[in-house]
A and B are shown apart, each in its own frame.
Chain A
Amino acid sequence: MEAVKPSFWDKLSVEQIKIELMRTAYGHANTFLSRFDPRVLVIWYAFFAIAPWFIFNKTVLLGMLALMVVLTYTSRVSTLVLVILAVGLVSDVGYMLFVSFFFGGSLDAIWSLSTLTLKLLVISLASIAVFASMDPEKFSDAMLSLGMPAQFSFGISYGYRMLPILIEEYNNLIYSYRLRGRTPRNKGLLKWRYLVYMGKITVIAFYPLILNTAKRTRTTVEALEVKGFTYAMTSSQAKKLKLAYLRIERHDYLFIAVSVLFVAALFTLGRIFPL
């Protein structure tokens, strides 16, 4: 058991998670969705993230799901993200099975509860497909263009820029705890003591991380000042220049039109063959 464990952790190392995360965020320049204007994508996404909550017709939801599966496939999403989604889904279904049998229900209950699962699936796949195709820069520009304040849109791109550094530092802090700490001698049933120990340092390592980050902000703030970030917020020139590349073209309109037609067709179908 001891000999196998490290190799498992090697595979699921923080390093690996960091790379997958950055790949998901910045990795794909040429997917189907990445061709469209980010503002169009944001609006498109807003519809598919909100509408499913108000739809109870399974035919419509299944149709949407089919669309999302195809789009997710074209977005070349990393396996790690899909695995996380699958784990969530399996536990969700498992829990519904358990609850329904526990209270003496039958498989019918699952059928009706699965509506919620379908909704969640549509929304999550839509998020994955859109955000894997649109890097944080474009997303931040789209938000700026749609009227969000400059600090907000800068925050999005700066947050992503800092993420790998923060992850690395967090990782090192965890090692600081581990290299000076002591794993419980008696690991306990199913290693629960060990899990508690790891869980505890996972949480407390955030404190030094926050303090270190706070200390470093001074340079960042001065650098932003020198580089004219505050100046740009008062002049409209910078915003205009920055967003000049955003242009809604014919294929964007086509994309919207096809999406609208598809959804309309789904609703018609759903009325004729409701599930």
Chain B
Amino acid sequence: MNLNQQEPIIEIHGLTFRYPGATDDVLRDVSLTIARGDFIAIAGGNGSGKSTLCKCLNGLIPNYYVGDFSGSLLINGAPAHEQTVSSLSRQVAYVFQDFENQLVRPSVYDEACFAPLNYGYADYRERGERALQLLGLTHLRDKWIWELSGGQKHMVALAGALSLDPDVIVVDEPVAQLDPFHARLIYDKLRILNEVHGKTIIVIEHHTEFIAEYGNTMLLMDRGRIRWVKPVREALNAISELGELHIEPPQVTEAFHRLRERTTPTTQDSPASSRPLYPVTLAQAADWLDDLSLGKDRYQPDHSNSGDDVSSRDKQTHELPQEADSRSGRQPLVRFEQVTYGYKDMARTTAPVLRGVNLTLYEGDRIALIGNNGAGKSTLMRLISGIRKPQQGRVTVCGQITRAVSPEELSDDVAFIFQNPEEMFIEDSIRKDVEYFLKARRIPDYEAFIEDIMVRFRLKELEQRDGRLMSGGQQRRATLAIGLAMRPKIMLLDEPTASLDLASRREMTELLDRLQDRVQTVIVATHDMQLVADWANRVIVMHNGQVALDTDGRTVFECAPLLEQAGLIPPQIVRLSHMAGISPVCLTVEELVARLIERSCKEETAIGSC
């Protein structure tokens, strides 16, 4: 971090750019200096010009995308417009958000060597090897790209960028398509590259939790302009300004902000500079908790406990979730009996994905299915939808044994929303896609019903558009509408909030909330722990092809060791309540604030303003 004072590596003055054929400037009069060795996070809403700015750094703009370009751009002190994409790419590496399609070679090793080979480095093999080693990927060296998981693919893309030994590494939204656990792995590597190897790191990111923990400087963009560049902690304390641009500050910051607003109402009058900066990471929050004297002395970590111990302890201390008691009265909709399923791999051996799963899902369940990649979540959903049949055991859906009926017949009761929306757009307009199911069944007079759905999901203006050409949030809304138009009893959603920005994510949660009056049970496979906390009334943790835990949203986050084992990270607010020693844990910021005030009042602590 002390490298910060060194000479600038990137200097931009008055940069304005417009894509060919576009009517508006994407970048307007951008001036920016990035110091060598900085770790800078670029945040901003969709269409604010983040990606475009980064594409200027490696020369794709204006050398590859020739548009209206003005202003000056110096990289390593040399003007960028006098250089080619190929010479700039060797200094500034770019990792695209879409990690699947930037990998162009069949094997991991080939991919890592590809760029240095193209640029004619005689030591291209060593360069590739070194990049793999730097990221701890040597064990994947001989794997084929299609055998890798999403997180591994992202790492390989980073290795490909590193192989040229660039000074600057630009990573476009590393978190968007990864679960938090794998996102952290990427960020940990970026931190090492930054601190140990002195690389300048630029990430496009709107998950402020990651910015807070890993970033050094934050840059806020708004409609093609730079609003400000500030040190991270100061930047994330600009809570109302971030809110305007639909960027949520970290939950800890939010919590202490609200706490302070409640307990010392005078703050609003005093200028922001006079108040101390709120914490932005959990580590900083610990000090604040100490100040509130609610802190560490009260916090008794029990990491030695295994998952089972914790859940049994929970049963003693809390009441059982109500759902468990009332289940007997409700209609079972899906039943898994000793279900086993496996996929064959390249060596023709069957890798088990589900191993003897027993599970019953009831009417009224809002189920979050969680677990790391490969834990069997998607397979479980595919078995319910009937597009996979169990190899052993039996799956019963709405009284039908799936083995005996076709997926078409099951789809009268089950709607399955795929993870990738593009795989659900089989017609050339959204309207036709939503109608498809009813049309295929020759159901008369469906227009009014469809109209209602289009309005409800705010798709009326978009209904003639091809689904592929819409934004991520619109695509998700459209797939949900397609599912609901099937009038299902059971709705399955695979990662409905993946790669969405926070505004679209919140919208999605609201829509899921409203599904309940139309659908009997909803099952969501997700990595989004905030969604689990906000929405689910039943949480099923999958681990190694088995159900590791089946409980409610609050209890699941008490089982820290089990979550850790399953590669899951609870929302920050849950971790904060752990730190504050609050049990049962809080699932929302509001809840935590209320609990903290309650406690500080009881104990008449230093705040003393209750």
Contacts and interface: CB of A to CB of B under 8 A. Distances in A.
Interface in A155-205: 157-158, 160-161, 164-165, 169, 172-173, 175-183, 204-205
A222 B117 contact: no
B403 A229 contact: no
A181 B440 contact: yes
A13 to B, nearest CB: 9
Contacts of A7: 389
B118 A228 contact: yes
A92 interface: no
Interface stretch (A98-106, A236-244, A249-257): A236-244
A176 B426 contact: yes
Interface string B399-428: 000011111110100111010101111100
B139 interface: no
A178 B60 contact: no
Given A212-B423, A222-B64, 18 more contacts: A6-B389, A22-B146, A157-B105, A157-B106, A161-B103, A176-B426, A180-B411, A183-B409, A204-B426, A208-B422, A212-B422, A219-B98, A225-B64, A227-B114, A228-B119, A231-B84, A232-B119, A238-B118
A247 interface: no
B160 interface: yes
B106 A180 contact: no
A35 B356 CA distance: 45
B contact face: mostly helix, strand, loop, or mixed:
mixed
Given A161-B104, A226-B94, A237-B120, A180 B346 contact: no
Top 3 A-B pairs ranked by shortest CB distance? Answer: A237-B120, A228-B118, A223-B102
A108 interface: no
Interface in A239-273: 241-242
Contact of B416 (A179, A216, A223): A179
Contacts of A164: 146
Interface string B103-126: 111100010001101111110100
Given A137-B106, A220-B104, A226 B60 contact: yes
Nearest to A182: B440
B124 A182 contact: no
B418 A238 contact: no
Contacts of A229: 104, 118
Contact of A175 (B84, B93, B387): B387
A2 to B, nearest CB: 6
Given A15-B343, A180-B437, A226-B89, A173 B426 contact: yes
B299 interface: no
Interface string B55-85: 1001010001000000000000000000011
Nearest to A234: B86
Contacts of B346: 19, 22-23, 27
A135 to B, nearest CB: 8
Interface residues of A, number: 58
B106 A216 contact: no
B407 A223 contact: no
Contacts of A222: 55, 60, 64, 96, 102
A208 B426 contact: yes
Contacts of B103: 161, 223
B385 A238 contact: no
Contacts of A91: none
Nearest to A168: B146
Contacts of B441: 182
A100 to B, nearest CB: 41
Given A23-B346, A180-B411, A220 B425 contact: no
Interface of A: 2-3, 6-7, 10, 15-16, 19, 22-23, 26-27, 136-137, 157-158, 160-161, 164-165, 169, 172-173, 175-183, 204-205, 208, 211-212, 215-217, 219-220, 222-232, 235, 237-238, 241-242
A225 B426 contact: no
A178 B387 contact: yes
Nearest to B402: A6
B486 interface: yes
Given A15-B343, A216-B101, A232-B120, A179 B106 contact: no
Contacts of A211: 466, 468
B385 A179 contact: yes
22 contacts: A22-B146, A137-B110, A165-B146, A169-B420, A173-B423, A175-B387, A180-B411, A180-B436, A181-B440, A183-B406, A204-B426, A212-B468, A222-B55, A222-B60, A225-B89, A226-B85, A226-B93, A227-B115, A227-B160, A230-B86, A231-B84, A231-B118
A227 B344 contact: no
Contact of A172 (B94, B118, B423): B423
B102 A220 contact: yes
B124 A241 contact: yes
A227 B118 contact: yes
Given A180-B436, A219-B98, A161 B426 contact: no
Contacts of A219: 96, 98, 101-102
Interface in B435-479: 436-437, 440-441, 466, 468
A208 B425 contact: yes
B406 to A, nearest CB: 6
B391 to A, nearest CB: 8
B407 A178 contact: yes
B610 to A, nearest CB: 55
Nearest to B469: A215
A232 B113 CA distance: 13
Contacts of B228: none
Between A6, A204, A226, A230, the greatest number of chain B beta carbons within 10 A of the residue's beta carbon is seen for: A226
B568 interface: no
A216 B389 CA distance: 32
Among B124, B146, B420, B440, max chain A CB count under 10 A is at B146
Given A10-B389, A161-B104, A238-B117, A176 B110 contact: no
Contacts of B418: 172, 176
B100 interface: yes
Nearest to A220: B101
B408 A241 contact: no
B104 A172 contact: no
A183 B89 CA distance: 53
A160 B436 contact: no
